Amino acid sequence: METKGQSPHRRWNPLRQAWVLVSPQRTQRPWQGEVAQKATPSAMPYDPECYLCPGNKRAGGAVNPPYDSIFTFVNDYAALLPDAPFQTSHSASPLLAAEPARGMCKVLCFHPDHSLTLARMTRLEIRRVVDAWTREYEELAGIGWIEYVQIFENRGAMMGASNPHPHGQIWSTGFVPDEPAAETRAQREHLDRTGRCLLCDYLDAEHTAAERIVFENDHFAALVPWWAVWPFEVLLVSRRHVGAMPALSGDERDALADALNRLTARFDNLFETSFPYTMGFHQAPTDKTQHPEWHFHAHFYPPLLRSATVRKFMVGFEMLGMPQRDITPEGAAERLRACSETHFWPR
Ligand SMILES: [Zn+2]
Ligand SMILES: [Zn+2]
Ligand SMILES: [Zn+2]
């Protein structure tokens, strides 16, 4: 198939088992949509108003310790609770179904310095975050009723992040949420059908194609996936077949910290802005069954389209029909490859 051409086509996402519409001929259309504010990194290492800075009081009344590396706490306004008193009652119709949803929402501060981001932290500092994520995953996986641990970061006001302080969230649930559940099915089907891992096979195909890989280190590859929906979407995938963070070796954790730093620096440099995104790790469910099909990876979903102020919207046909993109994943990978890994705003 001609993928470099300028004609509309749809691409298959084997991990989500869904199609994506690619319309490269539309990239020249004039933009009359919303123009947002350019986001610059915060210049304040400490913000007395920030509820995540060391020593500050949180809205719930608790006071943060004077932490000097990482800091974790249970979200004061959690979306999920460990003891959900919800009673399943007989409803009038099976179409009005509901279930109790137990879970736990934690916050992990990456650094005491309010002005930093993964893009401007050192690899050693990020390695401490990787170790904290690993510990949290292991601890939560050890709790009998927790079936999934979702580690993620929302960055930037454009993605609804309420606070620029470098932090992420860890939501663990008594069920496997829809996205990892769909990826579990897809990976299991691929393993059953071929005897091989879906993402190991996919990474081989990307190495052969050599068009969408942004960069690699010894243990991780960062690429714009064949099926990317968001303009500069990136899949960060371990080169070794590993199901979850606790299975990563020390060298692999260093390599993950290195990859996170290099990728986020490229993102920031692309439009010389503090690049907004939602990122999160997908790893094996913790539902106390074996998951040989699972291959550890992270998704980065950044909304920016053509500048620091113009974002992509998922509306219209995308809400009603299917996701659609304009610039090709190959074009996006080429632009990210051209970006420096030295941050435009040094510490
Ligand atoms: Zn802060
Ligand atoms: Zn694999
Ligand atoms: Zn995934």
User: Mean pLDDT across the stretch 261-285?
Assistant: 97
Collapsed DSSP state (helix, strand, coil) of residue 50: coil
Q: What are 109's two structure tokens?
A: 């501060």
Q: Say what the pLDDT of residue 59 is.
A: 84
Q: Which residues have C-beta under 5 Å from ligand 1, the single-atom ion?
A: 47, 50, 52-53, 114, 165
Query: In angstroms, what is the span from residue 20 Cα to ligand 1's centroid?
Result: 38
Is residue 106 within 8 Å of residue 173, measured between CB atoms?
no
> What confidence tens digit (pLDDT) does each residue in 306-326 have?
888 888 988 999 999 999 999
pLDDT band (50, 70, 90) for residue 42:
confident
Whether 167 sits among the annotated catalytic residues: the reply is yes
Q: Is the pLDDT of residue 298 over 90?
A: yes
Q: Is the pLDDT of residue 256 over 80?
A: yes
Ligand number nearest CA of 234 is 3
Ligand number nearest CA of 162 is 1
Ligand number nearest CA of 191 is 2
pLDDT band (50, 70, 90) for residue 32:
low
Catalytic one of 111, 167, 295, 343: 167
Query: In angstroms, what is the span from residue 120 Cα to ligand 1's centroid?
Result: 15
Query: In angstroms, what is the span from residue 326 Cα to ligand 3's centroid?
Result: 22
Pairing mode, strands 324-325 and 18-22: parallel
How many other C-beta atoms can be found within 10 angstroms of the C-beta atom of residue 242? Answer: 20
> What confidence tens digit (pLDDT) does each residue in 124-160 have?
999 999 999 999 999 999 999 999 999 999 998 888 7
Mean pLDDT across the chain, nearest whole number? Answer: 93
Is residue 232 within 8 Å of residue 268, measured between CB atoms?
no
Q: Which residues have C-beta under 5 Å from ligand 3, the single-atom ion?
A: 183, 282
Query: In angstroms, what is the span from residue 243 Cα to ligand 3's centroid?
Result: 12
Query: In angstroms, what is the span from residue 261 Cα to ligand 3's centroid?
Result: 20
pLDDT band (50, 70, 90) for residue 3:
low
Query: In angstroms, what is the span from residue 115 Cα to ligand 1's centroid?
Result: 8
Distance CA 257, CA 86 (A): 40
Query: In angstroms, what is the span from residue 293 Cα to ligand 2's centroid?
Result: 7
Distance CA 282, CA 279 (A): 10
Query: Which residue type occupies 134?
Result: T
> What confidence tens digit (pLDDT) does each residue in 214-254 have?
999 999 999 999 999 999 999 999 999 999 999 999 999 99
Ligand number nearest CA of 15 is 3
Q: Say what the pLDDT of residue 162 is.
A: 76
Is residue 43 within 8 Å of residue 54, measured between CB atoms?
no
